[in-house]
Amino acid sequence: MQPAEARFNKNSLLLALRRYSLAVSDMEQTILLPSLLRDLPSDELWDCEAAEETCTDLYDNYLMLKAIRNTVESGHVPLDDHKAKNSTALNKSLEPLLDADPEVLFRFHLKGLFSVMGDLTKKTQSLTEKYMDIIGVAN
Amino acid sequence: MQPAEARFNKNSLLLALRRYSLAVSDMEQTILLPSLLRDLPSDELWDCEAAEETCTDLYDNYLMLKAIRNTVESGHVPLDDHKAKNSTALNKSLEPLLDADPEVLFRFHLKGLFSVMGDLTKKTQSLTEKYMDIIGVAN
């Protein structure tokens, strides 16, 4: 992958996916006792008003970030995942535009995926820092 | 890439991107005189009622499919592209959900990109077949 990667710039989707993957590896190596994250509210990390489902505790966030990393690394697109209900809501709101213009849709999803990977990378780094605060290790 | 690719199944995003890239290469190798596509309406290939912009002629479609392939192969995410207006419309319709749940958003864009790549691959193959019809070569 090295020669191909050399020409990727900071707006590369593959680089964003790789950055996320590395952030999760770093999180895994840092968080040696994930159970310490249990029952700790995740409201600093996630927008709880908007997303009730992700606002259980930091341990659930930890598991979720790892699950997404596994999806990223396998490259497998989960066509019937457990969050299908919410995805359907998203699709419904897009219905009038879904068949509109494949070029626009392509760029929309490319940018969307790029953007959400950046967001998830930040959340992974925040969770890692949060853990270090909990165990009393300075960053 | 070969060892990593071996484990990708048919629902792999990377495989969908590669399939598209191959379809466009095939199109380029087949369409030796792209100018023959000029002034031929693209209404069979695209949903013209929904997407006026893409319904110029088959030659424009040909250029557009190649441009998307270049984006796919470079991995570069065009953050300020010329279709920004339409993307903004898409983003606006999603506004209430954009900050909802990064996991849902991740799966939504992953599936969306996978789906639109399949659609664009079919359109590329259709355009290639259309060209062969025009020059009188049987498939």
- Label residue A133 by pLDDT band (50, 70, 90): very high
What whole-number distance in Å separates Cα of residue A61 and Cα of residue B84? 33
User: pLDDT tens for residues B96-116?
Assistant: 555 667 888 899 899 989 999
CB pairs under 8 A between A and B: 173
What whole-number distance in Å separates Cα of residue B91 and Cα of residue B87? 6
pLDDT of A7 strictly over 50:
no
User: pLDDT tens for residues A63-111?
Assistant: 999 999 999 888 777 776 555 555 566 666 666 555 667 888 899 899 9
Question: Nearest CB to B97: which of A14, A74, A93?
Answer: A93
Q: A105 vs B112: CB contact, 8 Å cut-off? A: yes
How many residues does the structure list for chain A? Answer: 139
Question: Nearest CB to B111: which of A12, A77, A107?
Answer: A77
Question: Nearest CB to B83: which of A12, A90, A103?
Answer: A103
pLDDT of A16 strictly over 80:
yes
Amino acid B6: pLDDT: 44
pLDDT of A8 strictly over 60:
no
Amino acid B92: pLDDT: 65
What whole-number distance in Å separates Cα of residue A67 and Cα of residue A74? 11
The answer to whether B41 and B61 have CB atoms below 8 angstroms apart is no
Amino acid B66: pLDDT: 96
Strand spans (E) along B1-139: none
* Residues of B in Cβ contact (< 8 Å) with A19: none
Spans of chain B, pLDDT less than 50 = 1-8
Q: B86 vs A100: CB contact, 8 Å cut-off? A: yes
Distances in whole angstroms, Cα of residue B76 to Cα of each of A5, A52, A108, A124, A127: 11, 33, 13, 23, 28
DSSP state of B12: B
Amino acid B5: pLDDT: 44
Best of B86, B88, B103 to disrupt the A interface by mutation (most A CBs within 10 Å)?
B103
Which helix (H) or strand (E) element contains residue A122? helix A102-134
Amino acid B38: pLDDT: 93
Q: A86 vs B75: CB contact, 8 Å cut-off? A: no
User: pLDDT tens for residues A25-36?
Assistant: 999 999 999 999
pLDDT of A58 strictly over 60:
yes
Amino acid B56: pLDDT: 77
Rounded percentage of chain A residues whose pLDDT exceeds 90: 42
Positive or negative torsion for Cα B13, B114, A110, B17:
positive
Distances in whole angstroms, Cα of residue B104 to Cα of each of A4, A64, A68, A95, B83: 30, 11, 10, 17, 25
CA-closest candidate to residue A14, choices A96, A56, A86, A73 = A73
What whole-number distance in Å separates Cα of residue B40 and Cα of residue B24? 19
Q: A74 vs B1: CB contact, 8 Å cut-off? A: no
* Residues of A in Cβ contact (< 8 Å) with B47: 99-100
Q: A110 vs B108: CB contact, 8 Å cut-off? A: no
* Residues of A in Cβ contact (< 8 Å) with B120: 102, 106
Helix, strand, coil content of chain B in percent (nearest 5): 65, 0, 30
Phi and psi torsions of A76, nearest 5°: -80, 130
* Segment A20-24 mean pLDDT: 96
Amino acid B76: pLDDT: 78
**Higher-scoring residue by pLDDT: A131, B56:** A131
Amino acid A20: pLDDT: 95
> From the CA of A103, how many Å to the nearest CA of chain B?
7
Amino acid A47: pLDDT: 57
Residue B76: which region, alpha, beta or left (left: phi > 0; alpha: psi -120 to 50)? beta
Report DSSP letters for B114-127, one per residue: HHHHHHHHHHHHHH
What whole-number distance in Å separates Cα of residue B31 and Cα of residue A130? 57
Question: Nearest CB to B101: which of A53, A71, A106?
Answer: A53
**Token pair listed for A116:** 């959400």
